[in-house]
Amino acid sequence: METSPAIAQVLSEVGPRLRRLRMRRGVSLTAVAEATGISKSTLSRLESGQRRPSLELLLPIAQAHQVPLEELIGAPEVGDPRVRPIPRSVNGNTVLPLTRQAGPLQAFKMVLPQTRNTPELCTHEGYEWLYVLSGSLRLLLADHDLVLEAGEAAEFDTRLPHWFGSTGEGPVEVLSLFGRQGERIHVRARPRARNRNDEADRADGE
């Protein structure tokens, strides 16, 4: 089987890494041979690159040096996974992107000011999942008029007419996941309480 250039590069670095590890620990080839049962000549050829490394050889060497196998192979280090969002202002809202890579699903933290309380319904492709961190969020979705409190979540198809913002009582902090493909709505929220004028109009109509 032909070895890819990337794999060949990794294998070529194993020998020098074995030698550096042994020298750093101050261990002789003879001592490693006694601890692993691998002949001294085989170990020497491994370190010089004349012998192809294999699991049968590397596993006992890793055990003898008490290091993980990844250290002998030189597996790439995992980068810092933390996202340090840079806030930006979008239509008066503070938006903090929580995903670094472009993709079908994006995460945001949004701070909606108290003044964002005038509904302007819109539609577009995709679906959105909202989780209220603090404050009270008003969500209009088609015929629904809902209020979500801290700890409540809503998921909806953005092809439906929708809008969300503050109830006017204060700012709202929201965690948002947005995807491109529409999905069925799943909402956990209490209906927005009717105000007295609404109740009066309803009574007049009856």
Query: What is the percentage of the chain residues whose pLDDT exceeds 90?
Result: 50
Q: What is the DSSP string of 87-115?
A: -EEETTEEEEE---S-SSEEEEEEEE-TT
User: Which range, of 21-35, 75-89, 94-108, 116-130, averages the lowest pLDDT?
Assistant: 75-89
Q: Is 168 left (phi over 0), alpha (psi -120 to 50) or beta?
A: left
Which pTM was predicted?
0.52
Which runs of E-coded beta strand occur in 49-171? 88-90, 93-97, 105-112, 127-134, 137-141, 144-148, 153-157, 162-166
| Higher-pLDDT residue of 20, 184 | 20
How confident is the prediction for the chain on average, in pLDDT?
A: 82
What tens digit of pLDDT does each residue of 54-97 get? Answer: 889 999 998 988 888 878 887 655 556 677 778 888 888 999 88
**Residue 70, amino acid:** E
